[in-house]
Amino acid sequence: MIIAVDGPAASGKGTLAGGLANYYGLPYLDTGLLYRAVGLAISGHEDRPNFETVAIAAAQALDASHLTDVAELTTAQTGVLASKVAVIGGVRAALFDYQRNFATQPGGAVLDGRDIGTKICPEADVKLFIQADSKARMERRARQLESRGVVVDRYALYHQIEERDARDLANPNGGFYKADDAHLLDTTLLDIEAALRAAIAIVDGTMARKAGS
């Protein structure tokens, strides 16, 4: 079974995707980490003319060893760099096979990102699009960063998330919208347990309908 989980920044898609992977015993890939690793690799080059070439080369050279320093990859600054390299068609093309190979491994997988249900795995058995309002997303990200000892300016974080979402939505090479056959799950008023229960109910319901049809 392949489960695709998409949604905007800090909507809780990684938490849900990880919870679903655990529940169904499937391997899980956070595809945002791939873009973050490329973002990190071009840090300091982003204003140079050869920025795109450096980013594409970094994406082509990417392997699992670049995804281990999760603390550094998940800073807010790396998120901004990730959304800058994510608009480069050559970067997306270079990361496609990695994601496709993960998704199509025997037994299935859970992947979360922005374009899993639209571009990476249009044939996924179940697609979830996770949403939560901007203030809730900002507050969740703020607490996540604070739990690591980061001092957070909530006003700046709110605008940074809005700016990143806007850049993502305008991405000419992206597919950052809800797939027609994705189930929308708004977690604004749900805690993590309730959101996971709702996601499991969607997956079970979808698979039962497919088995019956």
Ligand X SMILES: Nc1ncnc2c1ncn2[C@@H]1O[C@H](COP(=O)(O)OP(=O)(O)O)[C@@H](O)[C@H]1O
The footprint of ligand X (CB under 6 A) covers 7, 9-15, 140-141, 144, 187, 190-192, 195
10 sits near ligand CDP (criterion: CB under 6 A): yes
- Contact pick of 2, 4, 9, 196 for ligand CDP (by CB under 6 A): 9
In the list ligand CDP, ligand X, none, the entry touching 15 (Cβ below 5 to 8 angstroms by class) is: ligand X
Residue range at the interface with ligand CDP (CB under 6 A); choices 18-26, 32-40, 126-134, 200-208 = 32-40
- Residue 52 vs 162, nearer CB to ligand X: 162
Q: Which of the choices ligand CDP, ligand X, none does residue 69 contact, using the CB cut-off of 5 to 8 A by kind? A: none
Closest of 179, 167, 93 to residue 128, by C-alpha: 179
76 vs 207 by CB, closer to ligand CDP:
76
Rounded Cα distance, 94 and 14, in Å = 22
43 is in an annotated binding site: no
CB 122 within 8 A of CB 115: no
C-alpha dihedral over 47, 88, 73, 21, to 10 degrees? 170
Q: Which of residues 43-102 bind ligand CDP (CB under 6 A)?
A: 79, 82-83, 86
Give Cβ neighbours of residue 18 (< 8 Å, ≥ 6 apart): 28, 30, 110
Report if residue 31 touches ligand CDP, rule: CB under 6 A.
yes
Among 113, 124, 136, 196, binds ligand CDP (CB under 6 A): 113
What, of ligand CDP, ligand X, none, does residue 78 touch, CB below 5 to 8 Å by kind? Answer: none
Q: Quick one: the chain helix, strand, coil %, rounded to 5?
A: 55, 10, 35
Q: Is 27 annotated as a binding residue?
A: no
Q: Strand 109-113 relative to strand 183-186: parallel, antiparallel, unpaired?
A: unpaired
Q: Which amino acid is at 35?
A: Y
Distance between CA 90 and CA 86 in Å, rounded? Answer: 9
Binding-site entries for ATP: 7-15
